Amino acid sequence: MYQLHELSRVYRRGHGSVTALRDVDLEIQDGEFITIQGLTGHGKSTLLMMLGAMDRPTSGSILFDGLNLATLPESRLTEVRGRSFGFVFQSYNLMPTLTAAENVEAALVPLHVTPAARRGRALAALAEVGLDERAGFFPAEMSGGEQQRVGIARALVKEPRVILADEPTGNLDETTRVEIVGIMERLWRERGLSLIVVTHDSAVARRAPRTAILDRGRLSVRSNARTADPAPVPPDRAS
């Protein structure tokens, strides 16, 4: 699905430059769960942005289903993002003026889904993360964990090929972290989509079969000895 070849990203900073990624080579298979680890500033988020077609490399290529995301025009990149990728952000990034259901619906706007169908799919996605009763709540009326579940529903609702999550548990407490990772893992297993998660948390990282480790922009890949068991799902979420 993904083929990254000699991918580099250099940021200009005044008169100098910072190399975030150096000659990264990586292949990710369809339906794979992979985590990306590394210290702060070593290129994890930059690599995720490249994989999500939100940024272009300075050099090298990044093929997604045969399309080179490094050279596609912006309009095509937007289209690919709209159809194929679902994003989950550390700070949730929900629209504060939209309800949970409307936030989820927003992901279907680029796909020209009718309003009625949008609403139905949004409610179904919220139900999938156990938030169907919070559909009419605004972000400010929900806890961090609930907001992140809305974020996951928003990523999920368009039935993407890949879910890309940037520190999805970074702002959450231990219990909620387990809950969120469990939901994402379940969706990966049940839906067969690819899951790419940037995380600082080694416990989370080890749940994936493979972990890509970035060190000053250089990538190495580690196979985790034991594939993660399904995350423990709290009793009230079990279905």
Partner 1 sequence: MYLRYLTRELRRRARSAALVSIGLALGVGLVITLTGAIAGVNAADGRVLQSLYGVGTDLTVTKAPAAGSGPVGIRISSGGGGSGQTTITGPGGTTSGPAAGDHVLPNPGLTTVASGEVAAIDRLRDVAGATGFLELQVLDVTSSGNLSTFNLDGIDPTTPGLGPLSAGNLSSGIAAARTWFAEAKQGEHVALVSAGYAKQNSLEAGSTLTLSGTDYTVVGTVSLVSSTSADVYIPLGQAQSLAGDGHEVNTIDVAATSSSAIAAVQTEIQKLLPSATVTSASDLAGDVSGSLSTASNLAGTLGLAVALVVLAAAFVMAVLLTMGSVTRRVREFGTLKAIGWRSRRIVAQVMGESLVLGLIGGGLGVGVGYLGAFVFTKLVPTVQADENPGLAAAPTTFGSGPQTIAGGVPVNASGTTTSTFGSALHSVTVPITAPLSLEILLVAIALAVAGGLIAGGVGGWQASRLRPAAALRRVE
Footprint on this chain of partner 1 (rule: CB under 8 A):
45-46, 49, 52, 54-55, 74-75, 78-79, 81-83, 86-87, 89-91, 93, 95-98, 102, 105-107, 109-111, 115, 118, 154, 158
Residue 37 contacts residue 202 (beta carbons within 8 Å) = yes
Per the structure block, which two tokens stand in for 52? 């999500």
Q: What is the DSSP letter of 227?
A: P
Q: In the complex, what is the shortest distance from the CB of residue 4 to partner 1, in angstroms, rounded to a whole number? A: 16
State in angstroms the smallest separation of the CB of 129 from partner 1. 16
Residue whose CB is less far from partner 1, 88 or 231: 88
Q: Based on CB atoms, which residue is closest to partner 1, 110 or 232?
A: 110
Q: Which amino acid is at 119?
A: R
Is the Cβ–Cβ distance between 196 and 34 less than 8 Å?
A: yes
3-state secondary structure of 224: coil
Q: Which is nearer to partner 1, 84 or 176 (CB)?
A: 84
Q: How far apart are CB 107 and partner 1 at their closest, in Å? A: 5
Report in angstroms how near the CB of residue 150 gets to partner 1 at its nearest.
Answer: 12
Q: Name the strand (E) or helix (H) holding 174.
A: helix 174-191
Contact 191, 163 (CB under 8 A): no
Single-letter residue type at 54: M
Nearer to partner 1, 164 or 178 (CB): 164
